[in-house]
Structure 1
Amino acid sequence: MSATLTLTDQDKATVRSAAYGAVSLLAAASDKPHKAATAGSIALTSATGRVGHVLNAKSKDIHLTGRTVAELADQVLPALAAAVALLDQQDPAEADNFRSIVLAALEAAAATSRNGQPGPVVDEMTRKVAAALHAA
């Protein structure tokens, strides 16, 4: 665990909402949304490091609303950039860890598609999430 990483409750909520929101976005784009959500969530709960502790904490602070993928994306993509920025300010290694964790979760979720290969919609959502992770 990093001694230099001190996150407020709001910071932790942002990190959790961003990570689980990214999985939700990919699941919404998937042809097997429940399997994608499950695989992505398992990947997030398998995370290590300080970010892993944050993602595994029991909490009820993940609030993702919206009736459409566009509305969900309006919340999640900025949250991803915000999470990376706040982690990068305190511990750049944990910001990199967060990026890796989220991308691994998306890869796990994408692998659940019918033929094992993500389709163009999943590829595009993955690209958008990756861009948000590197926007900070």
Structure 2
Amino acid sequence: MSITLNDQDKTTLATAAHGAVALIAAAGIKSAGKIATAGSLALAAATGPVGHALAEKQKGLKLNGKSTADIADTVLPALTASMTLLEQQDPAEAGNFRSTVLTAVEAGARAERGGPGPALTEMTRKITEALDAA
């Protein structure tokens, strides 16, 4: 099945995926930089149409916020919207996106010194819940 993503779709995917990494980094207590790097490297390894979309520089990508809650208000709905969009076009690609995001989240969580704590574990749960809400 072929998939067609316009610029807005690609921005939504990038906001969701890169935003998930930003949320995990924000939830990390000791190693936010290492978490962000590990998660970003995992996203860079994405393949298929999702990988191509995430590799493009997105002009509309905005992950700014004064708090983690502000970022989550943007990212969590973008995760659900991305899954809905991809499910409509190609369920296999939706699975690829879900797997890519969760791999990045797991890579980030593993980079936390001393292992993921309660805040990081809870953020992972929220991200997974948003992915599965579609």
Relative to the length of structure 2, the TM-score reads 0.96
Structure 1 gap segments, 5+ residues each: none
- Pick aligned residue for 1:125 from 118, 123, 126: 123
1:76-108 Cα distance to aligned partner (Å, 9 max, x none): 000000000001100000000000000000000
For 1:76 and 1:51, the matched residues in 2 are separated by 17
Query: Where has structure 1 moved over 6 Å in runs of 4 or more?
Result: none
Give CA deviations for 1:25-76 in whole Å, capped at 9, x if unaligned. Answer: 0000002111100100000011111101111113333111211001110110
Distance 2:110 2:64 in 1: 26
Alpha-carbon distance in 2 for matches of 1:71, 1:36: 19
Between the aligned partners of 1:129 and 1:76, the Cα distance in structure 2 is 9
Query: Which residue is equivalent to 2:113?
Result: 114
Q: Normalising by the residue count of structure 1, what TM-score does the alignment of the two structures yield?
A: 0.95
- 1:85-96 equivalences under 5 Å are 85-96=84-95
Q: Cα RMSD between the aligned structures?
A: 0.9
The amino acid across from 2:16 in the alignment is: A
Identity across the alignment (%)? 57
Kindly provide the amino acid, as one letter, of the partner of residue 39 in structure 2: G
Stretches of structure 2 lacking an aligned partner (at least 5 in a row): none
Secondary structure of 2:116 counterpart? coil
Q: 2:24 is aligned with what amino acid?
A: L
